[in-house]
Structure 1
Amino acid sequence: MTDRDEGAEFVRLMTSAARAVKAALDRSFEDYEVHAGQQLILGVLSEEDGLTPRDLAERIGVSVPTITVGVQRMEANGLLTRGAHERDARLVRVRLTDRGRELATVLPERVGEVSKA
């Protein structure tokens, strides 16, 4: 096997592993109507509530449109609220609701259970 073949195989295996972990996390979070990507948003906001979507995107490493869609869904599920930015009317701040704050403490336990499996 050439170095190039080994590199391609490594990428394939890592991609497969990442998909398997995401699927396991999504199954673990089903009871809470949350998926793995949303758990990341909850975790970041539990450390620093009131971030803008751009701040969230930078911390998680995804695009702003991806965060925007996630935030809209999470707001509809009662996990987050979006409110006006105090200094710039073009921006919004994303904050956890009580339910979102509760899940931000519960879901890491589920992550731990998945990682032990």
Structure 2
Amino acid sequence: MTDVIRLLTRAQKLLRTTTDAAMQEHGVRIGQNLVLEVLWDTDGLTPGDLATRLDVATPTVVNTAARMEAAGLLERRRDPDDRRLVRLYLTPKARAAEAPIAEARREIAARALAAVTPAELSHLESALTKIVTALSTVES
């Protein structure tokens, strides 16, 4: 069993390093691409809404949003109907990064999965889903 954990850890580190390098080419840090992905789909979310969709804590989103705002990727605006709420909106710079980041992610996936058969991929997705579910229930 420890070999599986070791391999998962190694794969995750390599994937993170590869993804980080690819995202940096577009002025985005690792993890920020996930925030962008959600906002490309639904712009103007609150940090709490975004945290729920990403399954992370709201303070994590707030801190990430502050860095992304400083990098010119996001704008924080007060909700016009409820001034207590802040909403996160993409800047033109973030919108322009959508296609290149999507392409970079496709290339990473193609490289990572090049030697994996469709049947193996199906089993891998199933196994990883089970692992995530098992560990998520421990965290709760």
**TM-score, length-scaled by structure 2:** 0.73
Higher relative CO (Cα under 8 Å, sequence separation at least 6) belongs to: 1
In the other structure, the counterpart of 1:26 is: 20
**Per the alignment, in what secondary structure is the counterpart of residue 43 of structure 2?**
coil
Contact 1:25 1:35 in 2 (8 A): no
- Where structure 1 has 5 or more consecutive residues not aligned to the other structure, the ranges are 1-5
Give the aligned length: 111
Q: 2:37 aligns with which of 43, 48, 52?
A: 43
1:114 Cα deviation after fit: 1.3
Regions of 4+ moved over 3 Å? none
Contact 2:26 2:100 in 1 (8 A): no
Q: 1:93 aligns with which of 87, 109, 114?
A: 87
Work out the CA distance in 1 between the residues paired with 2:6 and 2:48.
31
In structure 1, give the amino acid aligned to 2:40: S
Work out the CA distance in 2 between the residues paired with 1:18 and 1:105.
24
* Coordinate RMSD, CA, aligned: 1.3
In the other structure, the counterpart of 1:81 is: 75
Aligned pair 1:12/2:6, yes or no?
yes
1:69 Cα deviation after fit: 1.1
1:9 Cα deviation after fit: 3.4
In the other structure, the counterpart of 2:60 is: 66
For residues 13-37 of structure 1, give each alpha carbon's deviation from its aligned partner in whole angstroms, at most 9, with x where no partner exists.
Answer: 2222112111101111222221231
Identity of aligned residues (%): 38
- Where structure 2 has 5 or more consecutive residues not aligned to the other structure, the ranges are 112-140
Work out the CA distance in 1 between the residues paired with 2:62 and 2:13.
23
**Per the alignment, in what secondary structure is the counterpart of residue 94 of structure 1?**
strand
**TM-score, length-scaled by structure 1:** 0.86
Q: 2:101 aligns with which of 107, 110, 113?
A: 107
**Per the alignment, in what secondary structure is the counterpart of residue 83 of structure 2?**
coil
1:89 Cα deviation after fit: 2.0
In structure 1, give the amino acid aligned to 2:108: V
Contact 2:75 2:90 in 1 (8 A): yes
